[in-house]
Amino acid sequence: MHDDQHIELGTAPVVWQDVVRIARHGASLSLSRDARERIATARHVVDDIASSATPHYGINTGLGALCDVVLEPSELERLSRHTLMSHASGVGPPLRTEQVRAIICCAIINYSHGYSGISPAVVEGLLRLLNERITPIVPSQGSVGYLTHMAHIGLALLGHGNVEFQGQNMPTDQALNAIGMSPLSLGPKDGLSLVNGTPAMTGLACLALDDADLLAAWADVIGAMSFEVLGGQLDAFHPDVIRLKRQRGVQQVGDNLRHLLEGSQHLARRQGQRLQDALSLRAMPQVHGACRDQFKHAARQITQELNSASDNPLVVVNQDGYRIISQANPHGASVAMACDLLAIAVCEWSSISERRLYRLVTPQANQLPPFLTTESGVKSGMMIAQYSAASLVAECKRLAQPAVTDNFLTSGLQEDHLSLGESAALKLDQALENAAMVLAIEYLLASQAMDLVDDQNFAPATTLAWHTLRERVPSYSEEHALSHDMQSTRDLLREHTSLATFRRHAPHLNPGNEHHV
């Protein structure tokens, strides 16, 4: 059962939007009876093996390079506890609340597939933290692809560390006591299952997809405003041309732009004034469309990861019953590459936006008042906003360097190829924030340009965008720091409700409306 307020695992495939609904919008999460049975069945297998003398990695042995050390049954609870303590080695500023919630959600989804062998009590404990909104404080840095973030989360189940609860940072045991929840005792494999797998990178990636979905939509809306006020030549978006470029994203953006610009008398009067525009204007379908195609690829990879089992070892059913199999499903290459590719797309969205806004403020590139002020000389207008955008795009270019191609040796010689998936997801998160601010600056400048032209018979859709901004950010006259208007515009771009009104004009605006399973 899936709706906006509640999601039940085990009745249907999971999509990345489910994680966003839980982590970002507060939907509750539960397990179906089938999911609970799968978790319990796999746990019975682990319990049986834990009491045997035959070594099985991570169940009755040490971890990593210590995989050949066989432990006594009495030592297995200590193994799980010490695993969390030693693996909780994160550093740096804490993750945002929604990021930690997304990670917990993805961990529960991973366990719900029934291949991990983790204790049902641990899964119930994570569900309780999520639904009661007790969020562990988790350092953001220090992961090479897994282990670290979930270790800090796992310690909260034992009553260790600090959490955010009811708007306060407090000791975990205080928050657990407030909801009547006792700290857990861990059993065989519980510690390893908590730190293993791809939930951390996948949870972070789901939130990034939500942000990229908004970015894609606003890029088309704001790009249309710039195109219109600069008097772009519509032939570049003609259906007969766009259909010759076979990529779906190109065709969708071409369709969006035609709809967003439909009915513009301002633009109609400027057709034929030049043979062609700069590429930042006429290549929006090709560039924005290519970015959308990368989004769809990333969404497919991440959704497939959500519906995969990523733990080591896994409890696998075959014709002879159950086997415990050591393998590499926790390796996050697919998610890491998806995040790296999407970071390149995000950089492109920001880069072409900066080129358009440069044309809005540059007297040599338009017929608008220099730097979008009527008092140039006394006033600098929007000149320096373009500097800010250039700086952010330069950082996006650095963030577009792949993380997955880096590598190190860890755990002796045992773990000698790493995904750096959390690093890929976190740098994508920063790139998205930068790109959204660049688009906010373009939105601000395009609206200022619309204020200053005499012929304001713009298209209904772009007029709506112009008026939507002006309802909260007035035309700029240099009586306060420009950064305030930039931030207010950026805040507007976070709002799904503000964007929803544009979908009536351009039905393909949000690439995330298509599910990828």
Mean per-residue pLDDT of the chain: 93
Backbone torsions φ then ψ of 454, nearest 5 degrees: -75, -40
pLDDT at 28: 97
The string of pLDDT tens digits covering residues 50-62 is 877 778 777 877 7
pLDDT confidence band for 117 (50 / 70 / 90)? very high
pLDDT at 63: 66
Mean pLDDT of 430-447: 98
Distance (Å, rounded) from C-alpha 351 to C-alpha 390? Answer: 8
Kindly state the percentage of the chain with pLDDT values over 90.
76
The string of pLDDT tens digits covering residues 454-470 is 899 999 999 999 999 99
Superfamily of the domain at 6-196: Fumarase/aspartase (N-terminal domain) (1.10.275.10)
Q: What is the DSSP string of 149-213?
A: HHHHHHHHHTT-SEEEETTEEEEHHHHHHHTT-PPP---TTHHHHHH-SSHHHHHHHHHHHHHHH
Reading the block at residue 219, the tokens are 């890029």
Mean pLDDT of 254-264: 97
Is the backbone peptide bond immediately before 402 cis, with ω within 30 degrees of 0? no
Please, what sign has the CA dihedral across residues 279, 282, 286, 287?
positive
pLDDT confidence band for 193 (50 / 70 / 90)? very high
Distance (Å, rounded) from C-alpha 203 to C-alpha 77? Answer: 28
Pairing state between β 168-171 and 162-165? antiparallel
- Residue 164, judged by CB atoms within 10 A of its CB (0-12, 13-18, 19+), counts as middle
- Amino acid letter, 514: E
Reading the block at residue 459, the tokens are 């298209």
Distance (Å, rounded) from C-alpha 319 to C-alpha 321? Answer: 6
Counting DSSP H helices and E strands in the chain, the numbers are 20, 9
Backbone torsions φ then ψ of 178, nearest 5 degrees: -65, -30
Reading the block at residue 95, the tokens are 């993750």
8 Å CB contact between 213 and 267: no
Mean pLDDT of 392-407: 94
pLDDT confidence band for 64 (50 / 70 / 90)? low
Mean pLDDT of 33-56: 89
pLDDT at 500: 86
DSSP 275: S
Residue 414 has pLDDT above 80, yes or no: no
pLDDT confidence band for 516 (50 / 70 / 90)? very low
Phi-psi region of 452 (alpha: psi -120 to 50; beta: other; left: phi over 0): alpha
Residue 517 has pLDDT above 60, yes or no: no
Reading the block at residue 361, the tokens are 């403020």
Q: Which helix (H) or strand (E) holds 222?
A: helix 199-229
pLDDT at 381: 80
CB atoms within 10 A of CB 496: 12
Q: Where are the domains of the chain?
A: 6-196, 205-504
Reading the block at residue 450, the tokens are 């619309």
**pLDDT higher at 259 or 54:** 259
The string of pLDDT tens digits covering residues 152-180 is 999 999 999 999 999 999 999 999 999 99
Q: How many whole angstroms from its chain centre is CA 325?
A: 32
pLDDT at 111: 97
**pLDDT higher at 49 or 62:** 49
Mean pLDDT of 470-492: 94
The string of pLDDT tens digits covering residues 126-150 is 999 999 999 999 999 988 888 899 9
- Amino acid letter, 214: L
Distance (Å, rounded) from C-alpha 52 to C-alpha 316? Answer: 18
Reading the block at residue 231, the tokens are 């008097």
Residue 409 has pLDDT above 80, yes or no: no
Mean pLDDT of 224-234: 97
Q: What is the residue whose two structure tokens read 């069945």?
A: 41
Mean pLDDT of 413-417: 74
pLDDT confidence band for 317 (50 / 70 / 90)? confident
Q: Which of 316, 113, 317 is nearest to 202 (CA)?
A: 113
pLDDT at 13: 94
Phi-psi region of 327 (alpha: psi -120 to 50; beta: other; left: phi over 0): beta
Mean pLDDT of 489-516: 86
Burial 431-456 (b: 16+ CB within 10 A, else e): bbbbbbbbbbbbbbbbbbbbbbbeee
8 Å CB contact between 16 and 299: yes
pLDDT confidence band for 3 (50 / 70 / 90)? low
pLDDT at 11: 84
Q: Which of 487, 469, 476, 496 is nearest to 433 (CA)?
A: 487
Residue 382 has pLDDT above 90, yes or no: no
8 Å CB contact between 489 and 471: no
The yes/no answer on whether domain 205-504 falls in CATH 1.10.1740.10 is: no
- Amino acid letter, 312: N
Residue 209 has pLDDT above 60, yes or no: yes
- 205-504 shares the fold of 6-196: no
What are the angstrom distances between the C-alpha of 344 and each of 56, 304, 413, 428, 488? 42, 21, 32, 9, 26
8 Å CB contact between 116 and 65: no
As annotated, the active-site residues are 57
Residue 473 has pLDDT above 90, yes or no: yes
- Residue 316, judged by CB atoms within 10 A of its CB (0-12, 13-18, 19+), counts as middle
pLDDT at 515: 47
Q: Which of 212, 344, 397, 365 is nearest to 279 (CA)?
A: 365
pLDDT at 2: 61
Q: What is the DSSP string of 78-135?
A: HHHHHHHHHH---EEEEPPHHHHHHHHHHHHHHHHTS-S---HHHHHHHHHHHHTT-E
pLDDT at 191: 93
